[in-house]
Chain A
Amino acid sequence: SQTIHQWPATLVQPVGSPLSLECTVEGTSNPNLYWYRQAAGRGLQLLFYSVGIGQISSEVPQNLSASRPQDRQFILSSKKLLLSDSGFYLCAWSRTGGTEAFFGQGTRLTVV
C-alpha cells in the first residue's frame, strides 16, 4: 500500500531564517507530487506541483521554492521566511493520470 510521510509536524521559525520541509511517498512510482498551503478561511492553495524528477511548476509567485531530487521525494524550501509564510503546509500525491490526491499529515509552520 502507498503511504506518504511529511515532517516535521510543527515548526516555529524566526523571521529571516531558512526553511526545509520534506515529503516522501512509499509504495508507488512516478507519482505526481503537490505542495499546498492551508490558511484559515482561505482553503487549500496549490503552491507547487511536480510530474517528475526535477520538474517543478509554481502556481503562486512567492518566497518559497520546491525541489524533487528523487522520484518520491518533494522538498519545500525558503531562504528567508516572512511572517506571512505562517500556515499549514500539506504535501500530497496522486498516480500518474490519476485524479484523486492523497495527503500527508501536514506541517504547521509559525514564523515569529
Chain B
Amino acid sequence: QKEVEQDPGPLSVPEGAIVSLNCTYSNSAFQYFMWYRQYSRKGPELLMYTYSSGNKEDGRFTAQVDKSSKYISLFIRDSQPSDSATYLCAFYSNSGYALNFGKGTSLLVTP
C-alpha cells in the first residue's frame, strides 16, 4: 500500500463551483498535513497547513483532516479560473526529515 494516495484527475469544474480534493494516507505517524498549489512550470507554494483533526479555513479554502480515517480534504468555494493548478497534499511525521507528497490532482476551472 502506498503511503499517500491522491487521484490525479484531471478535475474540470465550472467557475463558481465548490471543489473537493482528497488524499488518503496509511502512515499513522503523520502528524502535520499540508496542501500545496502548483501552477504550470512553477514551484509548489504552501496553501494550507494543519496539525490536528478538524477544519481550518482561510478565505475560500478549507482544509479538513480526519486522522481516524486517515483522510484529508481541501475544499475551494466559489472556484475561479485562477484556481486552475495542480494541488498536492503533503504529510510530515516527527520521525521523518522531509515531506511525503501525493502525486497531485490537476484542477481546471472553466469560465
Contacts and interface: CB of A to CB of B under 8 A. Distances in A.
Task: Decide if A and B are genuine partners.
Answer: yes
Interface of A: 6, 32, 34, 41-44, 46, 49, 51, 57, 88, 90, 92, 99-106, 108
Contacts of A92: 43
Contacts of A101: 46, 90, 98-99
Chain B contact-residue range equals 20 to 34
A41 B103 contact: yes
Nearest to A32: B97
Contacts of A88: 41
Contacts of A104: 43
A53 to B, nearest CB: 17
Contacts of B32: 99-100
A65 B64 CA distance: 38
B43 to A, nearest CB: 4
A57 B97 CA distance: 10
